[in-house]
Structure 1
Amino acid sequence: MSTTPEHVTVIGLGNLGRALAETFLRHGHPTTVWNRDANKADALVAAGAKAAATAEEAIAAGDLVIVALLDSTVARRVLAGAAGAVAGRALVNVTSGGPEDARELAAWADEHGARYLHGAVYAVPQTIGTAGSSISYSGEETVHRRWQPLLDLLGRGTFLGRDAGLASGYDVAILAGMYGMIGGFLHATAMAAAAGVRATELTPMLLSWLTDSFPALSTFAEEIDSGGFSGGESSLAMNQAGLATIIRASRELGVPVGTLAPVKDLIDRQIDDGHGAASLSRAVESFRSAA
């Protein structure tokens, strides 16, 4: 890395943006910040940052521009308002959004002479800049390669490929899995409570069971990619029966089945099409047929 501190701009000073700016400041990089609510910059200014009056001024001040705003709509609006300053800049957008949002912003950046890299952050703000933070990137590889030393200050970085939408594609899929897990956990604790079991008593046993079950996901992934759903010990028919029992028990305990019924519906569709003996992973085909 160059011994000369390089100028960085952070657009957006929510919890994530503040943590990013604090990390660059901690490592001695001149950092310009901007936020619609200027008061959010006060603590960073006290720590050595420079607050810009406008997003355009902030972008013009940094060679590396990190965008960490509320959502992709806000990011597009802010960048469009500062379009005159983005030419020649490296824009690294870590704002949450879908793959198409990232691709649209990448195309916009290219039209305006900027180089675009999209990032998906896997960290809570307080872990930014530590080994507990990781960020996946996709988009212009030259941007990642040029600025990797600074980006690596924020957390363990992984470059996924040149399609700007890849990082978001991974991100929203991973988060969907996470929220599905949390939904299942909340349902489990509600059922347990109705049966007189405390959540803290249930959770160690649940974690043990899930940990033992996780290797099956790799097997399912291979089946999904290959399209080979035959055989296996966990058939659709077996899981249909198991889910029916759990749903019945949930209702008897007075717990709504909103997290379980959709899963059973996916299985039911495949069995109705004659695939009861196939692996549970074939339920993914119900998503595809519904698209």
Structure 2
Amino acid sequence: MNSAEHTHGTHGTNGTGGAGTETEVTVLGLGLMGAALADAMLTGGRRTTVWNRTPGKAEPLTVRGAAEADGIRAAVTASPLVIVCIRDYTAVRDLLDPVADALAGRVLVNLTTGSSEEARVMAEWAAGHGAGYLDGAIMMTPPGIGAPETVIFYGGDEKLFRTHEPVLRLLGGRPTHLGEDTGTASLYDVALLGLMWGTFNSFLHALALVETEGTTATEFLPLATDWLTGVSSFMGLYAQQIDAGEFVATDASLATQLAPVEHLVHESRARGVDTRLPEYTRDLIADALAKGHGLDSYARIIDHFRTAAS
């Protein structure tokens, strides 16, 4: 769609022009994710300025109607809403420090991956230069940007988020505000990634086991996905128990789960499959039993992680 058909957004305090205006957007960083973000803005009909430190990456976007800025200052000053998605927070500061004065009155949306501490420091830095700030975490790979089911977490001023939510919705149909703390998005991001990696590791361990009998990954997949649906049904109960601090088993006690895990360790060793993952689970359960929690549910294992953290 021709960008000339759209009206310019206006600069309000911290860039908080009224929701529903055709806000102009700048996207800094055109790696796979940054390019996908810019593409989603173009698809949504927003006048989009792009900039990348390495030249040449903007061409696919300029063909679609994006304007390529000739420098970082020109990129920042082109729009009231500036989205940045690059390597890390240090790179963001290195990029924006020389033009920090240009951020005054604008909104910076940082979708760079980092820690909660880095997000809070970045928010203070932005506020010190008169900019509104939202910190986000993208829970999707680049091909999913713009899809209705894509979730992006945001932390920061809720009014600022609500003002720009129509624009942010173009990046993913489920923009989720987690609260005023700018660090929360990064925290939730790594927590959910940990859940993902743990699931992947267990899935791959299971595949390594069954392939010793000639079962292919594709053949085993329906059984695994059906089982994961069942496993997820336990999570609601465990969440309630953890919040209440009461762990009486209503499904299966820790004592009854030790033997099956031992079987998994034995089966893995016998078939030449790495045993460290099931051994870790066995040791968690054995430790809980030694502390007198044999009649508790698996949710009691949270004590281990809390103790390790403290």
Q: Provide the TM-score with structure 2 as the length reference.
A: 0.88
* CA–CA separation in structure 2 for the residues paired with 1:180 and 1:4: 43
Any idea what SS the aligned residue of 2:159 has? helix
* CA–CA separation in structure 2 for the residues paired with 1:157 and 1:80: 28
In structure 1, the partner of 2:85 is 68
Cα distance, 1:267 vs structure 2: 2.1
Cα distance, 1:3 vs structure 2: 7.1
Deviations, residues 84-114 of structure 1 (Å, cap 9, x unaligned):
2222110111112222221121111112211
Percent identity of paired positions between Structure 1 and Structure 2:
43
Q: From the superposition, tell whether residues 235 and 55 of structure 1 become closer, same or farther in structure 2 (CA, over 3 Å).
A: farther
In structure 2, the partner of 1:233 is 251
Deviations, residues 169-222 of structure 1 (Å, cap 9, x unaligned):
222111110111011111000011123221112111121222122110111111
Deviations, residues 109-161 of structure 1 (Å, cap 9, x unaligned):
11221111112222232232221322221101122122111111222212121
Say if 1:266 and 1:287, in contact at 8 Å, map to a contact too.
Answer: no
Amino acid aligned to 2:164:
W
* CA–CA separation in structure 2 for the residues paired with 1:263 and 1:125: 34
Asked if residue 253 in structure 1 is aligned to residue 271 in structure 2, the reply is yes
Root-mean-square deviation (CA, aligned residues, Å) is 1.8
In structure 2, the partner of 1:140 is 157
In structure 2, the partner of 1:273 is 291
Q: Which moved more, 1:176-185 or 1:17-26?
A: 17-26
Task: Please point out which of 206, 210, 216 is paired with 1:192.
Answer: 210
* CA–CA separation in structure 1 for the residues paired with 2:65 and 2:226: 47
Q: Provide the TM-score with structure 1 as the length reference.
A: 0.93
* CA–CA separation in structure 2 for the residues paired with 1:161 and 1:135: 13
Say if 1:191 and 1:253, in contact at 8 Å, map to a contact too.
Answer: yes
In structure 2, the partner of 1:125 is 142
Say if 1:57 and 1:85, in contact at 8 Å, map to a contact too.
Answer: no
Say if 2:19 and 2:163, in contact at 8 Å, map to a contact too.
Answer: no
Any idea what SS the aligned residue of 2:97 has? helix
Q: Which moved more, 1:167-176 or 1:78-87?
A: 78-87
Asked if residue 103 in structure 1 is aligned to residue 120 in structure 2, the reply is yes
Q: From the superposition, tell whether residues 112 and 284 of structure 1 become closer, same or farther in structure 2 (CA, over 3 Å).
A: same
Any idea what SS the aligned residue of 1:39 has? coil
Asked if residue 210 in structure 1 is aligned to residue 228 in structure 2, the reply is yes
Q: Which runs of 5+ in 1 are unaligned?
A: none
Cα distance, 1:81 vs structure 2: 3.7
What is the count of residue pairs matched by the alignment?
291
